[in-house]
Each structure stands twice: as C-alpha cells, then as structure tokens.
Structure 1
C-alpha cells in the first residue's frame, strides 16, 4: 500500500492524533499552498450559540454547538483550543461515527482530510462539553488553496431547549470513565438533539449543569441560573449577551427544577418563590420569542420515591401547572416526563435512557406542533 494511502486510511479510521502540517514531508499537503478560513466565515452553517471574535474565530460554551460544511478539496485541518482540560470536539465526516478530539489550553491543529485527489465530504464539528468544563475557541480550518467550503443546509424548523446537566447530556456519554470528566458528555446522544432530529429541526441547547430556575444544586441563588444564562451567548462570570434575533425558535422546551428540588438542600422550594419566578421567566421567553410554542416539563431525574415526605415530582408538576395557569396563554403547555434512574454509577440518565426520553418527548411535541 502506498504511504499516502496508508496515511489516509489511518486518518479516516483511527482516533485522530495531533499532526502538524510540517510533520508530513511526503504527504499530498506539501505540494499545496494553504489558507486559513475562520470558523465564523460564510463557509460554515452554525447551529447553536457562539461568540464571534474579531479574528473570525468562534468561542463556544454551550454543548451541541455544531459547524456544518461541505468540503471539496484535498486537504483540511482544524485549529482549536479550550480554556480547560476536559473539552472535546466531535468530528463527523459523511455521517461516519464521530471521532473525538480532546482539547487543552494549547492551540492545536488536527489533519482531517489529506488526499492526493480532490474529494467531496460533508463535515460536522460539534462541541461535546459544556461551559464549566472549558470554553472552546475554534479558530478555523486550514485547507488547500483551491479547496472550497459551502455551508450545509440546515432544517427550516427551529427548536430551543433550556435545561440543566441532563439537557447538557451529562451521563449520556461514556460512563466507564471517571465521573465529571469530558467523555461523560455526548450532546448528539442527548434527548434534546435526538428530539430535534426526529422532528427535523435545528436545535440550540441552552443549559448549564447544576443550575436551576431560582437556585443551583447547592442552594445558591447568585450563580447565574436559567433566567440569567438564557440571556448569554457564553455562560461565564463575565457573560457575553446573546442577541435573540439571531435564532427565532418555533418551539421552546424547558426542563428546569431538578436542581431547585435537590433533596440535599433541605426543604423543597416555596410555592410562591418558584411559581412567581417561572411566570417571570415565561414572560421573558414570550417577550424575546413572541411566536414560539412553549412546552414545560419536570425532567427525568425528579421522583417521589427518594423521600415520600418531600415528593419532588408531584410538587414540581403542581408548581409548573400553576405557573402555566397564572401566565394565562394558550400556547404554553405542560409535557409530563418519565423518571429514569440512571445506573449504579450515577443518577443521571444513561445514553439509552436519553433515547427513551427522546422517543416520548418527540411523540408529544409532534402532536403539539402538528409536525
């Protein structure tokens, strides 16, 4: 087998390694001049929230943010880094199973395609982590001079999911690794992205692990909970505001309350504090997205069995229904959720449980939307 063919085979099927352009002196890349195309360029279709930097690079915090492009050429390499050590990007070429690139604070470049002849490939670059694991900067791609990038067409329907760690896909990934490390996240396997795929819609996952509607998992109320981070392109201590006009969803699904109702905090939230805050949040959603249908659900983790004296699921459902009644709009709905217990390693739903959640939610949301 020729050296170049062997190299392409390894790049296509083995886990991607860090490969600098100059490390391949006899590769097809050495005969070509290269140019850098910033991630924020028109060659990519962006799905999800991001902050475009002055350089044209994209800074990303939320999970599932994806760059879609159609590449035609011989050479394609990706440049990226993260503010943390647990961030990762998933690379899919022509729908093949994703290859995972682990990022760190040092800017790196990975060769994705290296061919003697021009090829046509559809490429997706997906942020697999969430904000607190590290904020990812995708600088762009290096490609041969006569190569082209064309933005892939995205579905016309638009969906937005607001939530916590479950929405962010924690637990849907590789649970054989230590908890709270990057492999535990896999937004492509999350219920939100699976629902969007079933409904043939784009989706933005706007979520933050450990956060709630009025308080975080530890009872704190000043850490930037959902009404705050909903307004941010990057959920950070120095947040960047999001322009809601960039993405007007037809459907908003909200799954909040798991952290507010964390039994480790103590008593369940007071009715007026929680319901009043939910009514206010619904007002915010309606203000920025006046034409969206809104569906509220209690999520998969709350249950009544853990402490019958503090029945999380029952009380949270009551609060949600009361908030909907108080808000008094016909296009706000309650969608019940089934409790999924996770496994012996963690109470967050597993990947297969996310698939079951997505099936149940898709059925209800399709009927609600007439999709």
Structure 2
C-alpha cells in the first residue's frame, strides 16, 4: 500500500503532481501548462522542468494561499533572482550551487496571489533549472496574463543591467548586475509588455571582450550551445530594440587586444565595413521579424559622446536598408565613464518610453 501524505501542492510546467485537497497517495499525474507563464528563451524538458539561460527570463504563477516555495538547480552558484509577489518586488537572492528548495514568501494575506522569479544576472553566470513552485497551504490557479505588447532586446552589458550597483548603493544585494532594474525591463513594465533579453556583457557586433560576438549567438536558445537554435516564429515582437556597438567602439581603440587581433589582424576595419556589418545584422533581424519595428539604439556610454563616429555609422547603415519601419535612437551619455546607475537606467527608460509610445500606439 502506498503511504498517504498530507497535501502539498507542487506546480511544474507540463507534467507533475496534480493539486488536490485533503490528503493523497503519491502519484504522477498530468497537469495543465496553463498554470505557468514564462518569458524568455527557455527549454522545457520532457519531465516538465524549465532550463533558464538569458537575463530577464521569468517564470510566473497565480495561486491561492499564504506561502510559496520553489525548487531550483543552479550549476554555478552565481545567479541572482528577483522574487516578485503581486507585481511588486519582494526580495532577491543568490542561488546556491546545486538543487535546493527556496522559501519565496510567507505570511501572505488570504486570497489569490501572483508569484514570479526573474533572472537578474548574465547568461555566463550559469544555467539554472526550475523544478516547480510549491504551495504548502494552498493551490495553483490558472494563469491568465496577456501582455499588451511584445518587445525583444539585443544588447551588451548596458542592456543586461551589469555594473549598475556598487557595494555602497542601497539596492546592492550581492551582485552589481540587476536586469530587473535595467532600462529595458523598466520600459517593458511601463507598457505591460513581455520582454526578451538577448544580451551579454562585453559583447559586440564585430568584436567582443570575450570569444563570442552577437551574430554568433543571437539565434541560440542556450547561448552556451552552438547547436541550440531558437525558433523565431514562436515569438514575434512588436518592436525589436538593438543596442550594440559600445564594445566595438572601445575595442577598435585597442589594437593589441587579443580579440581585436583575432577578428581584424593588425588594422581596424574601414568605416564602410563597419556600416556594412551593422546593416547586415539588422537585415538578419528583419528576415526573422518581417512585421516588427526595429529600433537601432546606442548608449549610454562613451560610444555616444561627441567624438564617437558610431552614431553616424548606425544612421548610415539604417538609411541603406531603406525600411520605414527601422529607426534610430541615441541615449544621452552618462556623466562618467562607468556603467549607468539605476537612476541613469530610469532616465534611459524615460527616453525609450517617449520614443516607443507613438510606435506602439500603431500596433
């Protein structure tokens, strides 16, 4: 005879324990996937667990009850997650290496609630695997969220939200990276939009501080796996925001850098080559998203200062594409030479919201 245990509700993606009241005999029953909402490029395994890679990836559920827990595996112990309860930031935590159960919230008022976990850190901080939410004193209910718009961001550390927090900043919680407070995430929440962040600190379009450039990973689901291809038809954004070339600008001034030598040899690429490479990448984005508006951005660091030729390169590249649904925006540069702070990300978000409002009003 199977032992009878008191009720604990587990919620996972496609398969798992079916919530019931009272007590149950343990068994594996199929559960509706309508109880979870996910954002980001993820891989759902045959067992229903969800593999998490990119910054800004989130998993959300609605439930009745006063407490929610989660089971998560992290392969490096460097990832940080935000916990969102009822659309409000609750706290953040660093995932321990290995598999562990985490208490996300307790002593909540009676009634229905919403919980979400949100990856704040870079993809190279490691892969995580979500095994399920757990509701010890309640049950999941159907997830009905329908974002008004769909956005997708391609970018570097600025878009990731890296380097925004120093140890002395009141919002610092163990990591200087916080995608949840990035200009893109703030913009998405303003518009009640879903958002996907195909972003990596240090990356460029032609040359990066690391070994990969954006054209080599933009079409991956798992950025660490060259065979992991993303199905672009599964998510067709209303607007694609591309904010690249800051690292290209910086590295083109460092001819002794190993990645400069690897990509270019001893000579910097000519201006028409830079323009052509940028236009070619935007053309690739257009091929995947024929109906999207593409906004080619730059900033808010040194690449948008007066001495930089890169805004002109981008304008020329966009003009060469002769596409009325591709535009440009250049963020105002930050005051110093560091990454934008949370306050400067808010300024960037206000700029982007102003640009996107008339574009999205036509969608």
Normalized against structure 1, the TM-score is what? 0.80
CA separation of 1:50 and 1:78: change in aligned 2, threshold 3 A: same
**Aligned partner of residue 67 in structure 1, secondary structure:** strand
Match of 2:19 in 1: none
- Residue of structure 1 aligned with 2:34, choices 29, 33, 42: 42
Distance (Å, rounded) in 2 between the aligned partners of 1:89 and 1:301: 26
Distance (Å, rounded) in 1 between the aligned partners of 2:214 and 2:136: 43
- Residue of structure 1 aligned with 2:357, choices 350, 357, 366: 366
- In 2, are the aligned partners of 1:293 and 1:331 still within 8 Å (CA)? yes
- Residue of structure 2 aligned with 1:257, choices 245, 249, 269: 245
Distance (Å, rounded) in 2 between the aligned partners of 1:337 and 1:114: 41
Please report how far the alpha carbon of residue 74 of structure 1 lies from its aligned counterpart in structure 2 after TM superposition.
Answer: 5.1
CA separation of 1:270 and 1:85: change in aligned 2, threshold 3 A: farther
Map residues 122-201 of structure 1 onto 2, 5 A cutoff. 122-144=114-136, 147-176=139-168, 183-201=175-193
Match of 1:355 in 2: 346
Distance (Å, rounded) in 1 between the aligned partners of 2:174 and 2:358: 35
Please report how far the alpha carbon of residue 37 of structure 1 lies from its aligned counterpart in structure 2 after TM superposition.
Answer: 2.3
**Aligned partner of residue 262 in structure 1, secondary structure:** helix
Distance (Å, rounded) in 2 between the aligned partners of 1:297 and 1:290: 19
Distance (Å, rounded) in 2 between the aligned partners of 1:97 and 1:74: 17
Q: Are 2:272 and 1:281 equivalent residues in the alignment? A: no
CA separation of 1:121 and 1:283: change in aligned 2, threshold 3 A: same
Match of 1:216 in 2: 208
Gaps in structure 1 of 5+ consecutive residues: 1-30
Give per-residue Cα distances to partners, 1:311-339, cap 9 Å, x unaligned: 32xx1111111111211111111112110
**Aligned partner of residue 349 in structure 1, secondary structure:** coil
Distance (Å, rounded) in 1 between the aligned partners of 2:117 and 2:289: 28
- In 2, are the aligned partners of 1:39 and 1:141 still within 8 Å (CA)? no
- Residue of structure 2 aligned with 1:120, choices 112, 120, 141: 112
Map residues 103-114 of structure 1 onto 2, 5 A cutoff. 103-113=95-105
Match of 1:21 in 2: none
Larger CA deviation: 264-273 vs 76-85: 264-273
Match of 2:223 in 1: 235
CA RMSD of aligned residues (A): 2.7
Please report how far the alpha carbon of residue 117 of structure 1 lies from its aligned counterpart in structure 2 after TM superposition.
Answer: 9.1
Q: Are 2:258 and 1:295 equivalent residues in the alignment? A: no
- In 2, are the aligned partners of 1:88 and 1:102 still within 8 Å (CA)? yes
Normalized against structure 2, the TM-score is what? 0.82
Please report how far the alpha carbon of residue 303 of structure 1 lies from its aligned counterpart in structure 2 after TM superposition.
Answer: 4.3
Gaps in structure 2 of 5+ consecutive residues: 15-32, 256-266
**Aligned partner of residue 183 in structure 1, secondary structure:** coil
Match of 1:83 in 2: 75
**Aligned partner of residue 276 in structure 2, secondary structure:** helix
CA separation of 1:302 and 1:152: change in aligned 2, threshold 3 A: farther
Distance (Å, rounded) in 2 between the aligned partners of 1:50 and 1:109: 21
Give per-residue Cα distances to partners, 1:207-253, cap 9 Å, x unaligned: 011111111036xxxx3322222101121144521111121001011
- Residue of structure 1 aligned with 2:47, choices 49, 55, 60: 55
**Aligned partner of residue 290 in structure 1, secondary structure:** coil
Please report how far the alpha carbon of residue 183 of structure 1 lies from its aligned counterpart in structure 2 after TM superposition.
Answer: 1.5
CA separation of 1:369 and 1:147: change in aligned 2, threshold 3 A: closer
